[in-house]
Each structure stands twice: as structure tokens, then as C-alpha cells.
Structure 1
Amino acid sequence: MKTWVTSRWKNPCLPGQLSVEINSLPEGGGNLRARYNIAPTTEVQILIAGEREPELVSARWGLVPSWWKKPLRGMPATFNARVETADTSPMFRGAFRARRCIIPASGFFEWTGEKSDRVPHYFSAADGGLLAFAGLWERWKSPEGELITSCTIVVRDADDWMDRYHDRMPAMLHPDDFAAWLDGTAGKDVLRRPPPALQEWIVARRVNKAGAGDEDPETIAPARGV
């Protein structure tokens, strides 16, 4: 599964959909730049457990486990972690036990159709709120000594609604599970709860190119003539 996300945060405070346990960005967080086509291996914003309250940090999308000894270019695809094996896979099990995160996003993309003629679809919350993807994170020191924070999105089987488009989907957390997910006390059951109601429409094909239209809100507008 290749899920790309779009984040449209504009205000210093997170919208109400994430306000039950996460009330505001950390001090100095400032306004976050709107982005509309975020691809794997680029930077995203994640929420991790802090000493007193959740902290917002930047992370490379594509988890690099702390034990990885080779150059970054040799990493396999780790931008998604399957819920079935996230706690046992060598790539993810350490993070599943001790380093969980929430990845807020206003939507994500999936494609249908043949490889030579793929149709991009945009998915977002039916009520217009933010989605809270369950994630895992790590800190890795490169052979050159650079410290890199990275993350992955946990994915699950699609529900009946999503199954029309793809057999997998991001695992989305409900506000009453935020704290337990971040502190590690929540089990896999919270990842399999019914997701929030979603809406979908077809968007322009330029989203098939990584980063194309990342600064342009028209990237997630309904495609003309569809």
C-alpha cells in the first residue's frame, strides 16, 4: 500500500477533532506550512509522547530502525507498517513497544485502475476534520553521524466502504485512544476500531508525481470533467 498524505494545518492550535488529549502545538510550534502532496521519504510532522504533554516533531516518512547499519539509500520501503506484524517485524517491533506517534493529516490518496492508467482518489474526513493516523517512530544515527527521526503509518484491512478503492487503509485513532496509544498501553484493538466516516473524489493526475502541486490547494480539488 502506498498512501500519500496532505496536511493543511494553518493555525497555532489544532482543530477540535484532536483537542481531547492534544490541546495545542508545543510552545514555539508556530503556523505550519500547508502541503498537499507529501510523498514517502519526505518530511512530515508527528506527535510523540513528551515528558508532560505531546510534542510536535519533524520526521522522515519511512522508518529507519535504530539498529540499521547501512546507508539510508539501502533501506527497504518502510513508510507503512502492517498492523498484523507491526509488533513482531524486526523493522517495527521496537518502535511498537516504546515509540508510538500520531500523524495528523487532512487526507490521503489512493489509486484505482490499471498501472498504465491509474486514477488518483482523495480521501478525507466526511466532517472536514483532521484524521489521526496511528504511527511509529525511531531515531537513527547514520554512518556519517547524522541523527535522523523517522516514522511510519500503521495500515490495516480496509473497511467495507474503503474496500471499493483499496484493500488496505491507514489505521485511524479516535480521540479517546490518543493518550493510550502514545504511552504504549493501547493494544492492537484500537487500530481495528471502525474509522471515522470518509468522503472521496477523483483529483488531477499530477498527484501521481511525488511533490507535484505540494504548495497548491488545487491539488486536492475535484478533477474537472469527471
Structure 2
Amino acid sequence: MCGRFSQAYTWEDVYAFSQPLTVPAAPAPNLQAHYNLSPTNEVDVIVWSGQGRALKKARWGLVPPWHKGPLKGVVPHINARLETIDTNKLFNRAFVKNRCIIPASGFYEWTGPKEDRIPHFISHANGTLMAFAGIWERWRNPETGEEIVSCSIITREANTWMSQLHDRMPAMLHPADFDHWLQGHGGKDLLMQPPPEMREWIVHKRMNRAGVGDDDPATCAPAPAEEPVAPEPPVQGSLI
């Protein structure tokens, strides 16, 4: 499961990460950093344009192209399971025709009981961007005529390291496989390779609320250790 993630980078960062983008924007855009992206937010995706790799925007939460109702009624399909992506009718068309890479500076998972969830930030061990494998679709809103591009992050079974936090994790691509993935030459095997080495730390619980701190770098910073609570002095005359 991946229900929140971060895209905090400059145009130069993502341009170099994509090896580079072969259809650069002109002039280079001033990208806004996001530290707490939630379902239905607009996110960056890298797609194959026919001429090369291009950076586009997409709504996070796949809307199937055959959906007939209003956008408000769509369940946001933010994740697509790798194990069934080629057979699930929600995703198999996009898996064949519309693949993308979702650059990420990290993602969040939670541990602890439901009433006291502890958020963790997971990122590449060396601080560079991660390449989440994704799929995308186009859908036209019947109420407004607006075309909406939407996407899902593909998830896989967690590796040994990640399983300490959750049993699922984003499927990640290695740079050498970017074009194979985007152009449809590679199959699910590309997403089963060992992910990059990762690191994690606990962050402030304020990010448990969707959208809170999305523009604040402190959202994904290590939470300060809680100060020990000093014992209260005994009441005079009581038995110790």
C-alpha cells in the first residue's frame, strides 16, 4: 500500500533523474515541492510521448475510461497490485498501453495501533529520487467535457527490509529499465527486481492528516525525540 508520498525536487533534479527528459519544457518550469501528497492530488508523472520521455501532470487515483458517472463518485484507485495488473479489468488496458514513471522523493507508512498510528518516511538510502512504476488513463467528464488524466502507483509484496513496516511497497524501476517499461517492451519481471537500498525515520504525527504540511519540508523531517516526563514530587507527609 502507498497512500501518501512526496515529490520534492527541482526541475534540474527530475530532468537529470529521467536521463534526461527528451521533451523538455521551454522555459524550464519552477516546480512546487510537495511533502504530503494524498489521493486525488495532482502529481508529476513521466510518460513516453512517441518522441521521448515527457513530464506531465495526472490526478492520483485512476479513473477507468469507461466510467459513466460523475467524478465525485469514482473510487480513487491509487494503487494497482502487480500480481493481478495484467488480469484486472481496471488496470490491464493501461498496463499494456499507458505506462508511466512516478518520481518520488519518498513515501510514508504507518506502524502502531489504529488509535495511535506512527508515521514513517521512507526514502532512497542516498537521498536520490525513486522511480515508482505506474499506469495512467484518460477520462472525459460527461458533466463538463473536461479530459482528466489519472494514474495509479503499482505495488508489490514488500521485501525483507520493508516488511518491518508494511507487507506492501511501491514497485520501483532501475534507470536502465526506464525505456523498456515506458515503451511496453518489458513485463512484470521488471518490477520484481530488488528495489534500491532504503532508509526510514519517524516523522511528526501532524502528517497523519491528508494535506497537512504539504508545502513544509519539516513534514518529512525526523520527529524530535519526546522529552522525558519528570516524576511529580511526592505530597508532603505521604508514604513513599
CA distance in 2, matches of 1:136, 1:223: 33
Is the Cα–Cα contact under 8 Å of residues 12 and 25 in structure 1 kept in the other structure?
A: no
Is the Cα–Cα contact under 8 Å of residues 123 and 130 in structure 2 kept in the other structure?
A: yes
Change in CA separation of 1:72 and 1:19 when aligned onto 2, cut-off 3 Å: closer
Verify: 1:35 aligned to 2:34, yes or no: yes
Could you say which residue in structure 1 is the equivalent of 2:175?
A: 175
Deviations 1:158-179 (A, max 9, x none): 0000000000000000001100
Letter in 2 for 1:95: A
Is the Cα–Cα contact under 8 Å of residues 132 and 172 in structure 2 kept in the other structure?
A: yes
Question: What are the within-5 Å matches in structure 2 for residues 55-134 of structure 1?
Answer: 55-134=54-133
**Structure 2, gaps ≥5 residues long:** 227-240
The structural deviation recorded for 1:70 is 1.3
CA distance in 2, matches of 1:13, 1:110: 25
Letter in 1 for 2:98: R
Structure 1 window deviating more from structure 2 (51-60 vs 21-30): it is 21-30
Is the Cα–Cα contact under 8 Å of residues 21 and 54 in structure 2 kept in the other structure?
A: no
Structure 1 window deviating more from structure 2 (144-153 vs 18-27): it is 18-27
Is the Cα–Cα contact under 8 Å of residues 20 and 176 in structure 1 kept in the other structure?
A: no
CA distance in 1, matches of 2:23, 2:104: 15
CA distance in 2, matches of 1:45, 1:170: 16
Change in CA separation of 1:23 and 1:136 when aligned onto 2, cut-off 3 Å: same
The structural deviation recorded for 1:29 is 4.4
Letter in 2 for 1:62: G
The structural deviation recorded for 1:75 is 1.7
Could you say which residue in structure 2 is the equivalent of 1:143?
A: 142
The RMSD of aligned alpha carbons is 1.5
Letter in 2 for 1:223: A
Deviations 1:168-221 (A, max 9, x none): 000000001100100011100011100000000000011111110011100011
CA distance in 2, matches of 1:192, 1:170: 11
The structural deviation recorded for 1:25 is 4.0
Using the aligned pairs only, state the percent identity.
Answer: 51
Letter in 1 for 2:150: S
The structural deviation recorded for 1:24 is 7.4
Deviations 1:5-28 (A, max 9, x none): 111112345264x24364674334
TM-score, normalisation: structure 2: 0.89
Change in CA separation of 1:23 and 1:202 when aligned onto 2, cut-off 3 Å: farther
CA distance in 1, matches of 2:224, 2:55: 36
CA distance in 1, matches of 2:154, 2:21: 20
SS at match of 1:14: helix
Q: Larger radius of gyration, structure 1 or 2? A: 2
Could you say which residue in structure 1 is the equivalent of 2:204?
A: 204
Letter in 1 for 2:134: G
The structural deviation recorded for 1:90 is 1.2
Letter in 1 for 2:86: D
SS at match of 2:93: helix
CA distance in 2, matches of 1:137, 1:29: 24
Letter in 1 for 2:137: E
The structural deviation recorded for 1:73 is 2.1
CA distance in 2, matches of 1:176, 1:121: 29
Change in CA separation of 1:56 and 1:194 when aligned onto 2, cut-off 3 Å: same
